[in-house]
Amino acid sequence: MRAFIAFEIPGFVKTYLSRTIVAMSSKTDNVKWVRDEGLHITIKFLGEIDEALGGKIRDELLYLGTRYKPFTMGLDRIDAFPDRKRARVIVVRLKNEVDIISNIFKDIEDNLKKFGFESEKRAFTPHITLGRRKAPLPLLEKAIIKLDEMDFTIDSVVMFKSTLTAKGAIYDPIWKIILGGIDQ
């Protein structure tokens, strides 16, 4: 199965970002926009793994539930990777508790090495992907929507199975680790 580890975001944030995508889509060309069910905060893309390995990864990462408590994130601003002049990926940057997400990312990276996963070469930047382009084009200022102040709680780490279809990827949760275990 094709899999990745992520944080889910609440429905009200997905609904808000879906409306943002609709508003931006009329002002931005050549973007394949993410459907609302595909909005999440990716921590680590795993690629093709078998289900047994998925279970071993869960067992290895269970301690995250007692090490970390639920935390509050906020939407910051629309941006692009690698930058706005060569926008390949249109994203929402996040604010508040970014250090917690970075620590969880580092813990996951360190623990996955024993399964043969290589560490990311790029710096980890917590974000929510809104859309992707095949070729880089500028993300024009007129296309950028100013986001409302919106905070939301992250309360679990999830492994998703990603099934690619002609209409886009379908994401199914495989397991979930709830943050805020009784040992905290």
Catalytic (active-site) positions: 40, 127
DSSP state of 114: G
Return the closest-CA partner of residue 176 out of 58, 69, 36: 58
From residue 79, alpha-carbon distances to 4, 17, 94, 141 in Å are 23, 14, 10, 10
Looking at the DSSP bridge assignments, the partners of residue 74 are: 95, 151
* Cβ atoms 152, 76 nearer than 8 A: no
d(CA 157, CA 5): 7
Looking at the DSSP bridge assignments, the partners of residue 91 are: 79, 129
Looking at the DSSP bridge assignments, the partners of residue 177 are: 157
HSE-CB at 38 with a 13 A cutoff on CA atoms is 17
